[in-house]
Copies of this chain bind each other. A is one copy, B any other.
Amino acid sequence: MSQTGILYLIPSNLAEDTADQVINEQVRAVIKETKYYLVENLRTARRYIGSLKTGVVIDELHFEILDKKTTPAEVAKLMGPALQGQPIGVISEAGCPGVADPGALAVAFAHQKGIKVCPLVGPSSFLLALMASGFNGQSFTFHGYIPIQKKERIDFIKQMERHAQKKQTQLFMETPFRNNHLLEDILQHCQPDTLLCIAKNITGADEMIQTKSIKDWRKAKPDLHKVPTVFLLY
């Protein structure tokens, strides 16, 4: 235990029942030593820690919620144990904390207070999609969730396509129940020879990662409804 505390960024599995496969020994060792957690979702965090079968007694752990409603002032309070020298773990809903979740708030606070930040290795859907796309990994932009409004969204897609044409890979996502609409918009508004990689349910049993031209995707569209998907243009 460090005297100034430590903030562990603890990844969790993306697809159900895959923790045994994708979570490494270091994550297990950290969970055995950590009593305080800031989590995006209480139920999934508890279930995740239980699924690692480290022998930890879940009822002896302290969980606090860190989600998109948490204010910076609240974060300062939640980080109390770290200021007293305790290790704290951040666990997001799925994947790596601090990327597309509120974990960054706790990290920013830690840097301000000189608390050591230790990111642990684990699954990240956008990284796995990038690796498997075959696109340029030396230069890329991740946009997170793209605009919902029709006009703004189509402009955004066309702008991403222009960057992709300059050899910068473009990664983006959509709320899963709107995935099929997003795919329609991409197929309708991108050029026939632009490459699109669709990475669906990464690390899951029905994982599908395929790169094709827009004109080839137009011939046979996959059903992405309610399935976590990363889209890449190049």
**Which B-chain residue is minimally distant from A138 (CB atoms)?**
B144
CB-CB under 8 A from A123, the residues of chain B are: 121
Asked if B144 and A96 sit within 8 Å, CB to CB, the answer is: no
**Which B-chain residue is minimally distant from A212 (CB atoms)?**
B111
CB-CB under 8 A from A130, the residues of chain B are: 98-99
Asked if A132 and B144 sit within 8 Å, CB to CB, the answer is: no
A127 within 8 A of partner (CB): yes
A223 within 8 A of partner (CB): no
A contact face: mostly helix, strand, loop, or mixed: mixed
CB-CB under 8 A from A101, the residues of chain B are: 137
How many A residues have CB within 8 A of the partner chain?
58
Q: Considering residues A25, A127, A130, A131, which has the most beta carbons from chain B within 10 angstroms of its beta carbon?
A: A131
Shortest distance between the CB of A23 and any CB in chain B (Å): 6
Asked if B133 and A107 sit within 8 Å, CB to CB, the answer is: yes
A97 within 8 A of partner (CB): yes
CB-CB under 8 A from A211, the residues of chain B are: 108, 111
A26 within 8 A of partner (CB): yes
Q: A21-B26, A24-B22, A142-B139 are in contact. Are A209 and B134 (CB under 8 A)?
A: no
Contact with B along A23-63 (1 / 0, CB 8 A): 11110010000000000000000000000000000000000
CB-CB under 8 A from A104, the residues of chain B are: 133-137
CB-CB under 8 A from A29, the residues of chain B are: 21
Asked if A119 and B128 sit within 8 Å, CB to CB, the answer is: yes
Asked if A96 and B131 sit within 8 Å, CB to CB, the answer is: yes
Q: A21-B24, A127-B124 are in contact. Are A145 and B138 (CB under 8 A)?
A: yes
A148 within 8 A of partner (CB): no
**Cα–Cα distance between A129 and B99 once the two chains are bound (Å):** 10
A4 within 8 A of partner (CB): no
Contact with B along A104-115 (1 / 0, CB 8 A): 110111110000
Which residues does A use to contact B, with CB under 8 Å?
A: 9, 20-26, 29, 96-101, 103-105, 107-111, 117-119, 121-124, 127-145, 168, 197, 202-203, 207, 209-212
Given contacts A111-B212, A117-B134, list 7 more A-B pairs with CB under 8 A: A9-B132, A21-B26, A22-B24, A24-B24, A118-B209, A119-B131, A121-B122
